[in-house]
Amino acid sequence: MNVTERVIVVTGAGSGIGRSIATGLLDAGHRVVLTGRTREALDQTAHGNDHALVVPADVTSPQSVHNLFAVVAERFGRLDVLVNNAGTFGPSGAVDEIEPQDWDQTVATNLTGVFLCSREAVRMMKSQTPRGGRIINNGSLSAHTPRPASVAYTATKHAVSGLTKSIALDGRDHDICCSQIDIGNAETAMTAGIGQSARQADGSMRAEPTFDPRYVADAVTRLVELPLDVTVPTMTIMAARMPFVGRG
């Protein structure tokens, strides 16, 4: 294996930011395991690249996640990087307007999925030779400041921040680094509406600027290629003119 080549798992790789990250990593010459719920979408991301391995999985299912990492271990014998990208906006509404089942599904995808994948990744990274690796969690600007009517999404992203810090702390003695990248208004299908009209904290509606997600992919690729004696605990990348600093 080339010394600069990494074995990387990217969750939610079938669309949006996950597809951009996976494509960027493949273009950089890394071996990328593309995972998500829909094989067809993952195959489109792979686009016939010999360095891509498609393994459908459901990050909310402990058994499905275990099976995913078993395939990685069997195929490559190690794991260098996990990119926890799978996520959902969840229901729109204030705390009194959210149904418990919608809350549970948002937590399962955005938080428990990160836990389950990180659990399997850390176990591999501790036991492999050479040991160690890197975990990169997709947070959000909502890990810091919420949008209106986003209680479920915001709560899970705040929780991801705590999970990221705990993994980073507990991973130190095992050469495991953990970072969080907080993304604001990358242009994807999920954020298409924001570019047209988005509710502001004062109740008004206005379009917000977006940016090309390939710059997220560039940032993740730089993180992936750092040596394990260097870490970036948090990174924020966003459309420069979007309302965040002083939001509301």
Any idea where the domains of the chain sit in the sequence?
7-238
Q: pLDDT tens digits, residue range 131-189?
A: 999 999 999 999 998 889 999 999 999 999 999 999 999 999 999 999 999 999 988 87
Q: For helices 151-171 and 100-107, what crossing angle results, to 10°?
A: 30
Q: Which of 10, 165, 189, 161 is nearest to 89 (CA)?
A: 189
Q: How confident is the model at residue 246 (pLDDT cuts 50, 70, 90)?
A: low
Q: Quote the CA–CA distance of 168 and 177 in Å, as a whole number.
A: 6
Topology of domain 7-238 in CATH is Rossmann fold (3.40.50)
DSSP, residue by residue, 71-98: HHHHHHS---EEEE--------B-GGG-
For residues 115 and 137, is the Cβ–Cβ distance under 8 A?
A: no
Q: Quote the CA–CA distance of 49 and 115 in Å, as a whole number.
A: 29
For residues 212 and 18, is the Cβ–Cβ distance under 8 A?
A: no
What is the pLDDT, as a whole number, of residue 247?
Answer: 55
Give catalytic residues, as residue numbers.
153
Q: Which of 119, 233, 228 is nearest to 174 (CA)?
A: 228
Q: pLDDT tens digits, residue range 74-129?
A: 999 999 999 999 999 999 999 999 999 999 999 999 999 999 999 999 999 999 99
Tell me whether the omega of the peptide bond preceding residue 227 falls within 30 degrees of 0, making it cis.
no
- Residue tagged 């992919």 (tokens): 217
